[in-house]
Structure 1
Amino acid sequence: MSVTVFIQGRKDVKRWHLGKRWLMLPVILAALAIILYQNSNARFVDQQANMNSERLEREEQKQQVLNLKQATESQLSLLVTHVARMQAKITRLEALGQQVASQNDLDGQFDFSDEVGVGGMSDLGASVELNQLIQDMDKLASQIDHREQQLSVLETVVSNLHIDKERYISGRPIAKGWLSSPFGLRNDPFTGRRAMHKGIDFAGAKGTEVVATAAGVVTWAGSMFGYGNLVEIDHGNGLHTRYGHNASLSVQVGDVVIKGQKVASMGSTGRSTGPHVHYEVLRGGRQIDPQKYVYRKAG
């Protein structure tokens, strides 16, 4: 197959005969164009894939950095929590130690406000890892807990000794006044007959302070038949004290009172002939002679 091309010139017409090779040229060019396009497209796809891969790698690295940051922040938060917990325990320990030292006149030997003296030569050791530091702090916190428990027990023992002294019944139940009727048999002021007087009467001016003869808990604060306005205090170990015929009361049931604290004002309520306080000491629920408690030395 061949193609003849006629070209009109100035003088004559030229004839150009195209063979099969010339006819295949467009096909070859088209094929080359397709190959170039496919190669270019393949390179573009490869470049795009490389870019996506790099982008994914950067995102993965970014996520790793974020995870590391979060892990570091978590460990730092844990470390801060440990330090805060230890600081609180040490503060409590110092307070307990100072209190025990003060109660036992040891302030000059133990000053918990000063730093503990340490020192000495030391070789430069390896750096401490965070996990090891946290383990060491846990161990130290456990030791502090143990020491705090020991010091709390010591404080309790000391406090109980102090409480025992406070619960020691002694002295008169009035600030001012005089003994007007002892414990034992006497002529009843209302009937004139012999009757058992189960307490001691202290007379004085109306309104005179009535005070607790020992520390304890108020178990009665109100009117009681025969006693008028009465205060009863439980001192533990089966011992109670009563303060009767008061004009007014200064405490309520459940109050904790200390030795020498005002509990009432002297009056003449109930079965009474004049301003006084009827004072009783009970052991195991039975009245006993209060005189040995009134006149014994304070504990």
Structure 2
Amino acid sequence: MTRSHWTFLFVPEGEGGVRTLNISKRLTQVLAVLCGLLVIGTLAVTVSFLRQQHALSNLEARDQEILTLRSTISELEDAVSNHEMIMARNRELHKQANLLAGLGPLQQTDMADMDAPGQGGQEPFPGELSNVDPTSRERILGLRVQLDRLLREANWQRHGFEKVLQTLSADQELRDNTPSVRPISGGYLSSRYGRRPDPFTGQPTLHRGLDFAAPVGTPVVAPAAGRVKRASRRGSLGLLIEVDHGNGLVTRYGHLDSFAVARGDWVTRGQVIGRVGNTGRSTGPHLHYEVVSNGRSQNPWLYIISD
């Protein structure tokens, strides 16, 4: 005989009647299915929750990695900026060293190879940036370009300094005879080398030197050793001194008030050769200073390393 229901008897301790509870077999099956579904649902919710927690943990770790990476990139960018400033100072030292070595001023063409972008080669950080966020990737690639330029400039400067050292070791006389200091102490630069309006006519004209405004009588010194080629009056430049430094270099000092040397004298760097004046075609007391190399006018500022 097939059981159609379940009977539960509840017998209390002490007095009281026995109670019965009849549950049909069908209801029992339904309750069993519901309990199973409840267990399965609980497991599914638990698994989903654990997966979300794991994904959230990974996302937080990823965000922290990005923050750490960006902080590191910022530190590297600061370091690169500092090294660029150091390179700029080294470039000025290179200029000074070239002049002291008698190699002449640095030319823009000297740095053409250094500034030229690299050609070909392996892709920067191949495959290593695929998982990096776009902002950080661009900053890293920018750093790569800056570092590449710094390395090329460092190599260029090393070769340049090696050439300077070789020249310095070989020719002391050349160093002594190359103009490298300002010809006047004090005063101020009142007119630069190049085209400018003529102070008397206002017409554009080429100014072939530097003008240093200073009081009459201010000492004028030789910027390098050499032989006095001229110490006399010469037209619009008034009282003029010319010093021949050899190797095709000549310096000129115009509008002087007086001479401290004569033609044929040998002068050394820093020696007083005359005094600032207002002679010739001049609007006020100043020194007109020129540098001529092999008959061609040069910008004297390129031969001053103390400023």
Higher Rg of the two aligned structures: 1
TM over 0.5, shorter chain: no
Scaled by the length of structure 1, the TM-score of the pair is 0.45
* TM-score normalized with structure 2 length: 0.44
